Amino acid sequence: MSSILVFCRDCGKQVPSSETKDQLCLDCQVRRSMADLRDEHARLWRKRERYRSHEAANVGQIARQIARVEDRMASRIRELVSNERRAGELLQRELEAARGQRYTIKGV
Ligand SMILES: [Zn+2]
């Protein structure tokens, strides 16, 4: 089956229609599917930053919660992306974005 090229309605990239869903490319599908987990990750990450200086026990517990959220991100990406290498790249991107987010969140 040959597939035609379409524009992703989010990022505007041209992608094979077979890779799109709701006119979204795979990258954008993954990014959107991460929204709630990324918020959760950001919340935990900020919490850990707050505790870091004075409550070591809590820091360990929060680190485990963060690891669980990251596991859920990984499995959600694997549900969307059948290509394993691609899934790995996208997970890396999402994790970097989630972990880097704390620098852009203000007033917390
Ligand atoms: Zn896109």
How far, in Å, is the centroid of ligand 1 from the Cα of 83? 17
pLDDT at res. 54: 74
- CA–CA gap between residue 102 and residue 33 (Å, rounded): 20
pLDDT digits (tens, 9 = 90+) for 17-51: 988 999 999 999 999 999 999 999 999 998 988 88
How far, in Å, is the centroid of ligand 1 from the Cα of 50? 35
How far, in Å, is the centroid of ligand 1 from the Cα of 93? 14
DSSP 21: B
How far, in Å, is the centroid of ligand 1 from the Cα of 46? 29
Which of residues 55 and 30 earns the better pLDDT score?
30
In the chain, pLDDT over 70 holds for what percent of residues? Answer: 90
How far, in Å, is the centroid of ligand 1 from the Cα of 69? 24
pLDDT at res. 108: 41
- The model carries a pTM of 0.74
In this prediction, residues 56-71 reach a mean pLDDT of: 90
Q: How confident is the model at residue 52 (pLDDT cuts 50, 70, 90)?
A: confident
How far, in Å, is the centroid of ligand 1 from the Cα of 32? 10
**Residue 1 pLDDT more than 60?**
no
Residue 39 CB neighbour total at 10 angstroms: 13
